[in-house]
Amino acid sequence: MPTENMIRIPIETHTPYEVLIGKGVLANTGTEIRRVAAEAKKAFIVSDDTVLALYGKSVRDSLVAAGFRVYTLAFAHGEEHKTLATAEKILSTLCAAEITRTDVLVALGGGVVGDVCGFVAAIYLRGVKFVQIPTTLLAAVDSSVGGKTGVDLPAGKNLAGAFHQPSAVVCDTEILSALPDRLFSEGMAEVIKYGMIGNAAFFGALENGQADLETIVETSVRAKAEIVKKDEFDKGERMLLNFGHTFGHAIEKLSGFSLSHGEGVAMGMVFACRYADKIGFSQEADIAKRLSAVLARYRLPAASPFTGRELFAAMVNDKKRRGDTISLILPRSAGDARIVPVPMETFKEVLTGL
Ligand code: GLY
């Protein structure tokens, strides 16, 4: 396909790579992967049953045309399959296919596929290349970029993992525009997050419905790139990306995961605004109301069905907790969020009053 409408965003981690964004770029998958895996003879696609049925053939054809011998493994879709058992099955299949260190894995799917495939790529033969092809908005704007990989354990989500950067990300916006409404909205929660934490103009564009899909994806990926460049290994500023997530994970968990990650994050961001308002941290009056209106525009819920007291009880094991303090991400205004360490006692007191 012609390259003039493609956007390339550099991700400056210790192993730099690019995110390629554009309508129809899936057809360029083979060429893109050849650019970053010149010596590879084999490409191993990891996907789920739903996504493989939709896009597997295009990706396979493109890889074959670029000279790869192609292998495929698809597991059943859903978060419940983001497990060590799935990772082990993929690892065994890689061995059977005699995939070597110079070959490349291809994660074709949403966040679950990307996380599991990335994790396998991090540990197979102590690390092989992989390329992300995100097929959900959430994966495109968040999980496919930045190198966080992993699986869930019975004790909680993402409890086993590794930092392992992809060698490229290929993001076809045509796929994203065909997503079912609920899946699209789920990704919009992360998009709105980028506006809230650091880009007031972008937040305003979302508020007024003025951002088209390419702008939404490009702006979000650039925002993530900026943060990951400064803090690849999540020791400081990257925590800003957790805005709404500490509360959101608790909401998701309490709902028995009937609420999606994006819905939990949407409600969690509103909780964070209310918290910031309550302690006088927020300098913008009615910030929760303003955020709620933007969420509604993108069909996302704002009101949590659970109280602050219930959230606190569900949150005591959160990874963001460090000893007796918890790092909250709180907004000063729309477009300016900060990392605020809060003693657990204070946190409990304020949250249970919300
Ligand atoms: N999804 C949050 C991060 O990449 O840090």
- Using alpha carbons, list the distances in angstroms from residue 61 to 26, 31, 68, 85, 348: 10, 11, 10, 29, 55
Tell how far the Cα of 296 is from the centroid of ligand 1, in angstroms.
24
Tell me the best of 241, 249, 261 to mutate to test the pocket of ligand 1, counting ligand atoms within 8 Å of each CB and taking the most.
241
The CA 105 to ligand 1 mean position distance, Å, reads: 21
SS3 149: strand
266: which 2 tokens?
């949407």
pLDDT at 156: 84
- Assess whether the C-beta atom of 142 lies below 6 angstroms from ligand 1: yes
pLDDT at 3: 60
Q: What is the CA radius of gyration of the chain?
A: 20
pLDDT at position 108, please? 98
Q: 218 CA to middle of ligand 1, Å? A: 17
pLDDT of residue 157: 86
What is the pLDDT, as a whole number, of residue 5? 77
Which residue, among 303, 312, 309, 316, has the nearest Cα to 259 in the 3D structure?
303
Question: Which among 167, 66, 65 is positioned nearest to 107, based on CA atoms?
Answer: 167
Q: How many CB atoms lie within 10 A of CB 345?
A: 10
Q: How far is the CA of 107 from the centre of ligand 1 (A)?
A: 17
Enumerate domains of the chain plus CATH numbers.
3-177 (3.40.50.1970), 186-351 (1.20.1090.10)
Any atom of ligand 1 within 6 Å of the Cβ of 249? no
Buried b vs exposed e over 47-74: b needs ≥16 C-beta within 10 Å? bbeebbeebbebbbebbeebebebbbbb
Q: Does the beta carbon of 148 lie inside 6 Å of ligand 1? A: yes
Ligand 1 atom, smallest distance to 234 CA: 5
Atom of ligand 1 nearest to the CA of 238: 5
CB-ligand 1 contact for 186 (6 Å cutoff): no
Pick the residue whose CA is nearest to atom 2 on ligand 1.
Answer: 241
Say which residue the tokens 């409408």 belong to. Answer: 5
How far is the centre of ligand 1, averaged over its atoms, from the C-alpha of 262 (Å)?
13
Which stretches of the chain drop beneath a pLDDT of 70?
A: 1-4, 317-323
241 ligand 1 Cβ < 6 A: yes
Residue owning the nearest CA to atom 3 of ligand 1:
241
Ligand 1 closest atom vs CA 146: 4
Asked whether 240 lines ligand 1 (CB < 6 A), one says no
Residue 148 alpha carbon, nearest atom of ligand 1? 4
Whether residue 238 has its Cβ less than 6 Å from ligand 1: yes
Give pLDDT, residue 320.
56
Report the distance separating Cα 92 and Cα 94, nearest Å.
5
Q: Which atom of ligand 1 is nearest to the CA of 242?
A: 2
**Ligand 1 atom nearest residue 241's Cα:** 2
Q: For 245, phi and psi rounded to 5 degrees? A: -80, -35
Whether 70 is in the pocket of ligand 1, judged by its Cβ within 6 Å, is no
CA of 233 from ligand 1 middle (Å) equals: 10
197 lines ligand 1 (CB under 6 A): no
pLDDT of residue 228: 98
